[in-house]
Amino acid sequence: MNYWLMKTEPDTFSIEDLLNCPQSISMWEGVRNYQARNFMREMKVGDRVMIYHSSCAVPGIAGFAEVCRTAYPDPTAFDPESSYYDPKSSSEKPRWFCVDVQWRFTLDEVIPLSTLKSDPLLSDMLLVKRNRLSVMPVTAAEWKHIQSHYL
DNA sequence: GCCAACGTTGGC
DNA sequence: GCCAACGTTGGC
């Protein structure tokens, strides 16, 4: 099993919105970064995901989800009406992919980025080191440390 | 293939 | 709203 972190802007789509989806499952559409896309294509059903709230009052980990469908072409890239539309992506040659994730758990309080940043054991975490990546792997050690210290 | 210009992310 | 850190684009 692998561990991941996925960012979302709660004003657009929060972990509560994920909970409220049918079966608490949502397509994770709109990722338009190659590195993030490549990580999504590595995801397996059952992989664990931290849901991270960005661009908000207290950015941080808001809860947990699970991959429930492996990567498939992102339909919003084909939709001219979508803000995620990309004319360079076609169903014959899709450029962007998404996975489905299912809600698992919402934290009572967000684990703030500032807390994670100040933890020496998390100083190598990609979230801390790489500012602008919306989908990224989390190591098993980081995952366990966060589970045992901040939940 | 280099790199300047431009666009985006996202913390603060 | 500012701006640093990147990623992307496109001329050459």
What range defines the domain where residue A58 resides?
A: 3-150
Nearest nucleotide, CA A53 to C1'? B10
Nearest nucleotide, CA A133 to C1'? B9
* Whole-number Å distance between alpha carbons of A85 and A77: 4
Nucleotides of strand C lying closer than 7 angstroms to a protein CB: 5-9
Single-letter amino acid code for the residue at A144: K
A85 touches strand C (CB under 7 A): no
Closest residue to B11 by CA to C1' distance? A55
A103-145 confidence digits (pLDDT tens):
999 999 999 999 999 999 999 999 998 888 999 999 999 999 9
A133 touches strand C (CB under 7 A): yes
DSSP assignment letter at A3: E
A47-80 confidence digits (pLDDT tens):
999 999 999 999 999 999 999 999 999 999 999 8
CB A107 within 8 A of CB A37: no
Cα radius of gyration (chain A): 15
Q: Which has the closest alpha carbon to A8: A28, A27, A24?
A: A28
Domain count within chain A: 1
Indicate which CATH number applies to the domain containing A102: 3.10.590.10
Burial grade of A15 (CB within 10 A; 0-12, 13-18, 19 or more): buried
